[in-house]
Amino acid sequence: MPKANYDIILRNGEVVDGTGAPRRRADVAVKGDRISVVAEPGGIGDAGGAREIDATGRVISPGFIDTHTHDDNAVLIGPDMIPKISQGVTTVIAGNCGVSLAPITLSGTEPPPPLNLLGGLEHFRFERVTDYVEAVTAAKPRTNIANLIGHSTLRLACMDDIGKKASAREIDAMRDRLAEGLDAGAIGFSTGLYYKTNAAADMDEVVALAELLADKGGVYVTHMRDEHDGILDSLQETFETANRAHVPVVISHHKCAGPNNWGRSRETLPVIDEARKRQTVGLDAYPYPAGSTVLEPDWVDEEIRILVTWSTPHPEKTGQDLADIAAEWGCSQRDAAVRLNPAGAIYFQMAEEDVRRILAYPPTMIGSDGLPHDSHPHPRLWGTFPRVLGHYCRDAGLFTLEEAVHKMTGLSAETFGLKDRGIVREGAFADLVVFDPDSIADRATFENPKQTAAGIDLVMVNGTEAWADGEPTPLRSGRFISRA
Ligand code: ZN
Ligand code: CU
């Protein structure tokens, strides 16, 4: 009688291991939260698994790492994490774009945009990152989460007037909070220099914070000051900042925004390549020609299509085009944006040509930048990973399946220092996805964004089956994870 040596054995799948190496047919055995054995088919012999799963014709890959999220609060108030787990994401990196839920306690006034992308006033209640980590652990989300500390959050917590550059005293206060966060397990520091809450910070202010990462470990991640006409200057600012702070840097959601700049990834990618010869530079991107964030009247130029994703005073306008709302109200689009605020929007600001060139660039990692609290969210929240694997890999042939998986697993784990994640090998955490490479596809659209993916059979998080046959299981086993 074979005895059950393992908790789960996945038999006869095609293992795409996350390193970029060619796929190979294998059996994978899981015990506890780790992968115990990866062997030739039949190589595990008749050592039984408590549960045996036939993965014939399916790919077994590492669980996807969503490198760019705003899931800080989602893991607490929506710990089932259905938009993410349903597309094979087993780890989210939160706190991007200078915006993190901790460390700050707000009282009195609502958080200014873009902090309000994470939720209202009552959700900002973590004075220390340690408190946030405790809350995550208690919430037991379905996916793992790792956190960056956001510069706008630090500025709001420590400064009298965030419209100015920080004083020496305010920088010290921010450094103390950032140090506490890194000691509590945060994996880096993010800026969103594009946003009003962060824009007054000059390079000296950013360096004074980012340089803490050189001692404590961690990555500097930046939503750059300008992704429009000034993109080349912003790239230089990014490289110089990271260089002065002696830290690795990740460029967030790289894009060339605005019709003026369409096609300019032909210029930006060679510049990034040059910098990569001198310093450690990574980047992430999502697979759509539209971005999404708060609706800021100053950004409304009547040149591109803008779609409203939420509005506090006018929730009935959610899902409508700003141009149509302005026509109905008999006002300019800018005035309509003022009336809709606070609000969020999707901006159709990129060229498909750039999206493809940036996705295909070998150093590019995949990050959804999904906004989990929007009532009519950008479809990237639910569709990013299957869209890369189905639409861009299988159908458009931008890269091999091995490369696509590497961009969403091994490369991401390596960049952010997530030990024993993002790889299928013996001893690694059993964060795994079993999917059908022929049918995997995103179903979320701009019109109908809250749709699960097709072709995802099974998702395991820390050795636990978290999503199976199109449904969440009763088991949640995500953890707060920090750097190796
Ligand atoms: Zn951003
Ligand atoms: Cu973002």
| pLDDT tens by residue, 268-288 | 999 999 999 999 999 999 999
- The answer to whether residues 286 and 370 belong to one domain is yes
∠ Cα 367 468 463 (to 5°): 75
Residue that has been written with the tokens 């079993």 in this structure: 434
Q: pLDDT confidence of 163, banded at 50, 70, 90?
A: very high
For 312-370, list the strands marked E by DSSP: 343-347, 364-366
Strand partners, 311: 343
Please state the rounded mean pLDDT for residues 359-366.
98
Write the CATH number for 435.
Answer: 2.30.40.10
Collapsing DSSP to helix, strand or coil, 190 comes out as strand
Average pLDDT, the chain: 97
pLDDT at 349: 97
Strands 144-150 and 125-126: unpaired
Ligand nearest to the CA of 367: 2
C-alpha 438 – ligand 1 centre gap (Å): 32
Read off the tokens for 143. Answer: 């996916």
Write the CATH number for 331.
Answer: 3.30.1490.130
Distance from chain centroid for Cα 219: 14
C-alpha 269 – ligand 1 centre gap (Å): 19
C-alpha 264 – ligand 1 centre gap (Å): 19
C-alpha 96 – ligand 2 centre gap (Å): 5
- The answer to whether residues 412 and 314 belong to one domain is no
C-alpha 237 – ligand 2 centre gap (Å): 19
Read off the tokens for 438. Answer: 């022929």
Q: Which one of 330, 346, 362 terminates a domain?
A: 346
- The answer to whether residues 289 and 145 belong to one domain is yes
Q: Is residue 204 part of a domain?
A: yes
- The answer to whether residues 211 and 248 belong to one domain is yes
Distance CA 173, CA 176 (A): 5
Per the structure, the count of domains in the chain is: 3
**Do you know the residue count of the chain?**
484
Ligand nearest to the CA of 193: 1
* DSSP summary character for residue 391: I
Q: Is residue 70 part of a domain?
A: yes
C-alpha 5 – ligand 1 centre gap (Å): 46
C-alpha 111 – ligand 2 centre gap (Å): 17
For 110-223, list the strands marked E by DSSP: 125-126, 144-150, 188-192, 219-223
C-alpha to C-alpha distances, 10 to 42, 87, 206, 477, nearest whole angstrom: 11, 19, 47, 19
- The answer to whether residues 44 and 141 belong to one domain is no
| pLDDT tens digits along 465-481 | 999 999 999 999 999 99
Ligand nearest to the CA of 369: 2
Q: Which one of 320, 346, 372 terminates a domain?
A: 346
331 in the Ramachandran plot: left (φ > 0), alpha (ψ -120 to 50) or beta? beta
Ligand nearest to the CA of 194: 1
C-alpha 223 – ligand 1 centre gap (Å): 5
| pLDDT tens digits along 11-60 | 999 999 999 999 999 999 999 999 999 999 988 877 777 899 999 999 99
pLDDT at 46: 75
Largest CA-CA distance found in the chain, in angstroms, rounded: 78
C-alpha to C-alpha distances, 11 to 48, 51, 259, 291, 423, nearest whole angstrom: 11, 11, 50, 40, 18
- The answer to whether residues 98 and 34 belong to one domain is no
Q: pLDDT confidence of 367, banded at 50, 70, 90?
A: very high
Collapsing DSSP to helix, strand or coil, 251 comes out as strand
C-alpha to C-alpha distances, 222 to 149, 242, 249, 295, 381, nearest whole angstrom: 11, 10, 8, 20, 20
Which range marks the domain in which residue 217 is found?
64-294+347-416
Ligand nearest to the CA of 251: 1
Q: Is residue 479 part of a domain?
A: no
C-alpha 448 – ligand 1 centre gap (Å): 23
* DSSP summary character for residue 259: G
Q: Is residue 483 part of a domain?
A: no
Ligand nearest to the CA of 368: 2
Q: Determine contact, residues 186/145, Cβ cutoff 8 Å.
A: no
pLDDT at 49: 73
C-alpha 105 – ligand 1 centre gap (Å): 22
- The answer to whether residues 307 and 264 belong to one domain is no
Question: Taking Cα atoms as reference points, which of 483, 481, 463, 482 lies closest to residue 473?
Answer: 463
| pLDDT tens digits along 395-439 | 999 999 999 999 999 999 999 999 999 999 999 999 999 999 999
Distance CA 388, CA 253 (A): 15
Q: Is the pLDDT of residue 1 over 50?
A: no
Q: Is residue 388 part of a domain?
A: yes
- Among 47-56, 187-196, 439-448, the range scoring the smallest mean pLDDT is 47-56
Write the CATH number for 397.
Answer: 3.20.20.140
- The answer to whether residues 299 and 363 belong to one domain is no
Listed in sequence order, the residues at least 6 apart from 52 whose beta carbon sits closer than 8 Å to its beta carbon are 8, 9, 11
Q: Is residue 369 part of a domain?
A: yes
C-alpha 18 – ligand 2 centre gap (Å): 24
Distance CA 110, CA 120 (A): 6
Q: Is residue 444 part of a domain?
A: no
Q: Is residue 251 part of a domain?
A: yes
- Cβ neighbour number for residue 284 with a 10 Å cutoff: 27
Ligand nearest to the CA of 117: 2
Q: Is the pLDDT of residue 2 over 80?
A: no
- The answer to whether residues 32 and 142 belong to one domain is no
Residue type, 56: T
C-alpha 369 – ligand 2 centre gap (Å): 5
C-alpha 89 – ligand 1 centre gap (Å): 20
Please state the rounded mean pLDDT for residues 154-162.
98
- The answer to whether residues 74 and 162 belong to one domain is yes
pLDDT at 37: 95
Cα dihedral value 407, 412, 415, 419, nearest 10: -140
Residue that has been written with the tokens 């000034």 in this structure: 230
pLDDT at 334: 98
C-alpha 371 – ligand 1 centre gap (Å): 11
| pLDDT tens digits along 133-145 | 999 999 999 999 9
Residue that has been written with the tokens 């008999």 in this structure: 330
C-alpha 291 – ligand 1 centre gap (Å): 9
Please state the rounded mean pLDDT for residues 89-105.
98
pLDDT at 459: 98
C-alpha 70 – ligand 2 centre gap (Å): 6
Q: pLDDT confidence of 3, banded at 50, 70, 90?
A: low
Question: Taking Cα atoms as reference points, which of 81, 121, 87, 82 lies closest to residue 101?
Answer: 121
C-alpha 332 – ligand 1 centre gap (Å): 26
- The answer to whether residues 142 and 264 belong to one domain is yes
- The answer to whether residues 279 and 223 belong to one domain is yes
Please state the rounded mean pLDDT for residues 117-132.
98
Read off the tokens for 270. Answer: 């060679």
∠ Cα 8 93 206 (to 5°): 155
